[in-house]
């Protein structure tokens, strides 16, 4: 007898190739890369990956990096990035470790170095091909993360020697969390305060050697291992202190700010674009949200279709048939589907804007685009890394006890994922920054100013009663609620942005919702390769997404009179119908991600749906049968221990006490 997963797969009514092509325009390349990864004995991720200790993980990730060095010099960088993203689905830490060098280190130089500096550090030295230099990104300090402008490391210029001295003035200025510093990196881009002629010019970027060709620390550099983390232990994060480390004037990145040999500093109004190095990470994390979300919702849904509990003996109900279980998982399925087109648009826009900036043809427009990209990427990164964290947690709970097993993949997933909420922009900080920009854009729009394409909606006019009579309204309702919340924020704003931080947070979340619905709607409308069944199913997901989030934020929708109670009750009832529409194709909808078993890497989530057998075999293969614990004597000694009296020393036994008591 085939199992439920196989049975429902056979009965799927949507074409999964078409859905896959809709979700992933590069689907052929994706499948090729997947094959290359899983056929490579070093790059593929075995089940017992979840058992590896920190030293083992670090060694393995170094080996994977060595392996990837073969690809980095034979394919173009965009393709290599795609390979990295796909490899990161099963092993996110290794890609972080390589990305510290190829993205953070190199992007800091690309974004802030002169053409010569870029040429020298990235290409002549071989960094971009993982040769000679392994760079790290020494920005964060112990006491400063989000507030980069307040970093305390100093780079003091000496015109006589034409060098800077890099120093860590106090403990709190120790560079901290620096990925790659503990073991891998021999160079760093160091964010430090430029001091020249006694004046502090704020934080600039310096290329600093950390280790010599024998990988020994250079003079004045002290480095330690940060140690164990919540997740991603394959990354060798470290701390760095500098004691009079000397670097030549030419090692300061000088695309914008320049320093003359005599120490005269030339600042530039273009400084703001120097932080663009961090955007790449935010864009990548939005794409990660799609990729990882697809992985984990697949595990939970395959398990939910296959697992039975309660109901008639021998014919127990599949847990996915329970209303609550559908309510727990299907909205996340819709989220993942919407994240596909949305994250792809963000990547495309990012690449175009960075290219335009570099070309420098219309710098004013490029800078405006960059600002919009800041807002979009902040809102999307924060909102969706939070949501995927919830998805993973819900997926784990939805797999019951088995979800707590390492081989479900969901525990490690949560640990590895959690850092996304914090690094390269803390989610709360990003959200309220994005929210503030949205309020300002709204104000500017009201004053008739032109807004960027992704924010034009802030000028939209709505009837007092928005009709829910077409699909487009599922995008518009987000525009409307954003406008209402922005209006409300302005009405209670007391001159201090602190007074509206709750509203800013909401606006950032709603903007992400709007961005995803808008992008999905456009692709769906344009897409000509889909059959009617696929189109209908994608529309159901699209509808579910907005219905679910309306219900989740029902307080706001009712408070601002966008819905009334009866409309909300109607939406709640309709949501259940959407679940029913999707129910027959849940296996098809997850198969459409086309992730091989090795990429999903979960005993519960294999394609064959035969999870009890898979899981048992994995457990027995890796943990054996009937072994005694090495420390078993500790326990058996307890169980066999003598009585309390016998355990006491002789001088306390009853007999002794009687003897001693004879003449007392």
487-506 positions binding a second copy, by CB under 8 A: 498-499, 501-502, 505
Residue labelled with tokens 């140690």? 227
**Binding test (CB under 8 A) with a second copy, winner from 198, 261, 269, 313:** 313
Q: Is 102 in the site for a second copy (CB under 8 A)?
A: no
Phi, psi of 522 (to 5 degrees): -65, -45
Q: Are residues 474 and 521 in contact, defined by beta-carbon separation less than 8 angstroms?
A: yes
Residue labelled with tokens 């989220």? 335
Give the count of residues interacting with a second copy (CB under 8 A). 133
Looking at beta carbons only, is 366 or 427 nearer to a second copy?
Answer: 427
Q: Are residues 454 and 514 in contact, defined by beta-carbon separation less than 8 angstroms?
A: no
- CB of residue 69 vs a second copy: minimum separation in angstroms? 5
Which of these segments, 247-255, 454-462, 477-485, 625-633, binds a second copy (CB under 8 A)? 625-633
Indicate the DSSP class of residue 277.
Answer: G
Contact characters 111-130, a second copy, x per CB under 8 A: -------------------x
**Binding test (CB under 8 A) with a second copy, winner from 467, 526, 628, 654:** 628
Which of these segments, 114-122, 261-269, 334-342, 406-414, binds a second copy (CB under 8 A)? 406-414
Please list every residue from 319 through 338 that binds a second copy, using CB under 8 A.
322-325, 327-328
Q: Is 616 in the site for a second copy (CB under 8 A)?
A: yes
Which of these segments, 353-361, 476-484, 640-648, 650-658, binds a second copy (CB under 8 A)? 640-648
Q: Is 425 annotated as ligand-binding? A: no
Contact characters 376-395, a second copy, x per CB under 8 A: -------------x---x--
Please list every residue from 22 through 61 that binds a second copy, using CB under 8 A.
50-51, 53-55, 58-59
Q: With CA atoms as reference, report the closest residue to 244 among 222, 213, 211, 216.
A: 222
Residue labelled with tokens 């048939």? 321
- CB of residue 401 vs a second copy: minimum separation in angstroms? 5
Please list every residue from 411 through 440 that binds a second copy, using CB under 8 A.
411-412, 414-415, 418-419, 421-423, 426-428, 432
Q: Is 630 in the site for a second copy (CB under 8 A)?
A: yes
Please list every residue from 527 through 556 that binds a second copy, using CB under 8 A.
551, 553-556
- CB of residue 324 vs a second copy: minimum separation in angstroms? 4
**Binding test (CB under 8 A) with a second copy, winner from 164, 407, 442, 542:** 407
- CB of residue 393 vs a second copy: minimum separation in angstroms? 8
Element (H, E) at 441: helix 427-446
Give the three-state DSSP class for 75. coil
Q: Which residues are catalytic?
A: 424
User: At a CB cut-off of 8 Å and minimum separation 6, what does 648 contact?
Assistant: none
Looking at beta carbons only, is 254 or 556 nearer to a second copy?
Answer: 556
Q: Are residues 516 and 545 in contact, defined by beta-carbon separation less than 8 angstroms?
A: yes
Please list every residue from 233 through 262 that binds a second copy, using CB under 8 A.
236, 239
For the chain, the C-alpha Rg in angstroms (whole number) is 29
Q: Is 198 in the site for a second copy (CB under 8 A)?
A: no
89 vs 95: CA distance, rounded Å:
9
Please list every residue from 352 through 381 that binds a second copy, using CB under 8 A.
none
Q: Are residues 375 and 381 in contact, defined by beta-carbon separation less than 8 angstroms?
A: no
Q: Are residues 302 and 296 in contact, defined by beta-carbon separation less than 8 angstroms?
A: no
438 vs 329: CA distance, rounded Å:
31
Contact characters 128-157, a second copy, x per CB under 8 A: --xxxxx-----x-xxxxxx--x-------
Please list every residue from 271 through 310 that binds a second copy, using CB under 8 A.
307-310
Q: With CA atoms as reference, report the closest residue to 185 among 134, 137, 223, 239.
A: 134
Give me the half-sphere count of Cα atoms (radius 13 Å) on the Cβ side of residue 196: 25
275 vs 202: CA distance, rounded Å:
14
Q: Is 264 in the site for a second copy (CB under 8 A)?
A: no
Looking at beta carbons only, is 134 or 457 nearer to a second copy?
Answer: 134
Q: Is 485 in the site for a second copy (CB under 8 A)?
A: no
191 vs 193: CA distance, rounded Å:
7
Q: Is 74 in the site for a second copy (CB under 8 A)?
A: yes
Phi, psi of 177 (to 5 degrees): 75, 10
- CB of residue 213 vs a second copy: minimum separation in angstroms? 8
| Whole-Å CA distances, 144 to 152, 173, 177, 474 | 8, 8, 11, 41
Region at 28 (left for phi over 0; alpha for psi -120 to 50; beta for the rest): alpha
**Binding test (CB under 8 A) with a second copy, winner from 41, 115, 198, 228:** 228
Q: Are residues 419 and 493 in contact, defined by beta-carbon separation less than 8 angstroms?
A: no
Q: Which two tokens stand for residue 342?
A: 């949305």
- CB of residue 233 vs a second copy: minimum separation in angstroms? 9
Q: Is 202 annotated as ligand-binding? A: no
35 vs 305: CA distance, rounded Å:
27
| Whole-Å CA distances, 243 to 223, 332, 387 | 11, 50, 43
Looking at beta carbons only, is 410 or 587 nearer to a second copy?
Answer: 410
Looking at beta carbons only, is 307 or 523 nearer to a second copy?
Answer: 307
Indicate the DSSP class of residue 542.
Answer: H
Please list every residue from 161 through 190 that binds a second copy, using CB under 8 A.
171-172, 174, 176-177, 182-184, 186
Residue ranges of the annotated binding site are 140, 179
Residue ranges of the annotated binding site for FAD are 140, 179
């Amino acid at each position: 007898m085939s199992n439920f997963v196989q049975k429902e797969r056979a009965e799927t009514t949507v074409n999964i190739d078409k859905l896959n092509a809709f979700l992933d325009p590069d689907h052929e390349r994706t499948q090729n890369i997947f094959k290359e990864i899983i056929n490579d004995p070093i790059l593929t991720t075995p089940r017992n990956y979840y058992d590896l200790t920190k030293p083992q993980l670090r060694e393995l990730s170094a080996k994977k990096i060595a392996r990837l060095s073969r690809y980095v010099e034979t394919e173009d960088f965009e393709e290599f990035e795609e390979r990295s993203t796909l490899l990161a689905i099963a092993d996110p830490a290794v890609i972080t470790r390589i990305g510290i060098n190829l993205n953070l280190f190199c992007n800091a130089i690309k974004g802030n170095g002169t053409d010569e500096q870029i040429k020298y550090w990235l290409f002549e030295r071989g960094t971009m091909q993982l040769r000679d230099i392994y760079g790290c990104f020494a920005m964060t300090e112990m006491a400063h993360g989000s507030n980069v402008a307040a970093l305390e490391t100093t780079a003091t210029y000496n015109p006589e020697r034409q060098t800077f001295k890099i120093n860590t003035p106090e403990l709190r200025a120790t560079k901290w969390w620096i990925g790659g510093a503990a073991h891998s990196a021999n160079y760093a881009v160091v964010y430090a305060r430029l001091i020249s002629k006694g004046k502090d010019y704020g934080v600039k970027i310096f290329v600093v050697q950390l280790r010599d060709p024998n990988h020994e620390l250079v003079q004045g550099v002290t480095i330690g291992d940060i140690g164990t983390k919540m997740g991603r232990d394959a990354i060798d994060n470290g701390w760095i202190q500098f004691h009079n480390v000397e670097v030549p004037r030419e090692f300061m990145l000088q695309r914008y700010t320049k320093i003359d040999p005599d120490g005269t500093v030339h600042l530039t109004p273009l400084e703001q674009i120097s932080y663009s190095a961090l955007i790449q990470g935010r864009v990548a994390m939005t794409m990660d949200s799609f990729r990882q979300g697809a992985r984990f919702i697949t595990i939970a849904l395959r398990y939910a279709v296959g697992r039975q509990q309660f109901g008639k003996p021998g014919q127990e109900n599949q847990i996915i048939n329970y209303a609550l279980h559908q309510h727990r998982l299907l909205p996340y399925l819709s989220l993942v589907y919407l994240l596909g087109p949305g994250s792809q648009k963000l990547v495309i826009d990012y690449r175009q804007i960075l290219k335009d900036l570099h070309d420098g043809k219309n710098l004013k427009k490029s800078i405006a685009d960059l600002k919009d990209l800041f807002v979009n990427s902040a809102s999307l990164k924060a909102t969706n890394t939070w949501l995927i964290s919830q998805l993973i947690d819900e997926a784990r709970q939805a797999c019951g006890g088995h979800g707590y097993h390492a081989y479900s993949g969901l525990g490690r997933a949560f640990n590895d994922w959690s850092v996304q909420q914090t690094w390269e922009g803390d989610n709360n900080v990003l959200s309220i920054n994005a929210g503030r920009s949205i309020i300002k854009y709204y104000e500017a729009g009201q004053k008739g100013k032109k807004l960027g394409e992704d924010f034009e909606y802030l000028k939209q006019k709505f009837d007092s009663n928005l009709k829910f009579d077409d699909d487009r309204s599922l995008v518009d309702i987000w525009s409307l609620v954003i406008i209402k919340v922005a209006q409300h924020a302005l009405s209670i704003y007391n001159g201090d942005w602190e007074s509206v931080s709750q509203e800013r947070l909401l606006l950032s979340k709603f903007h992400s919702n709007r961005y995803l619905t808008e992008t999905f709607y456009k692709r769906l409308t344009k897409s000509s390769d889909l059959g009617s069944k696929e189109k209908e199913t994608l529309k159901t997901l699209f509808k579910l997404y907005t219905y679910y989030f309306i219900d989740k934020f029902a307080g706001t929708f009712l408070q601002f009179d966008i819905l009334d109670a009866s409309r909300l009750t109607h939406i709640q009832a309709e949501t259940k119908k959407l679940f029913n529409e999707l129910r027959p194709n849940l296996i098809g909808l997850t198969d459409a991600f086309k992730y091989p078993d090795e990429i999903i890497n979960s005993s519960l989530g294999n394609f064959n749906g035969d999870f009890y057998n898979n899981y048992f075999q994995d457990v027995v293969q890796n943990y054996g049968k009937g072994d005694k614990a090495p420390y078993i004597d500790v326990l058996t000694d307890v169980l066999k221990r003598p009585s309390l009296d016998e355990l006491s020393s002789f001088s306390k036994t009853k007999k002794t006490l009687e003897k001693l008591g004879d003449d007392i």
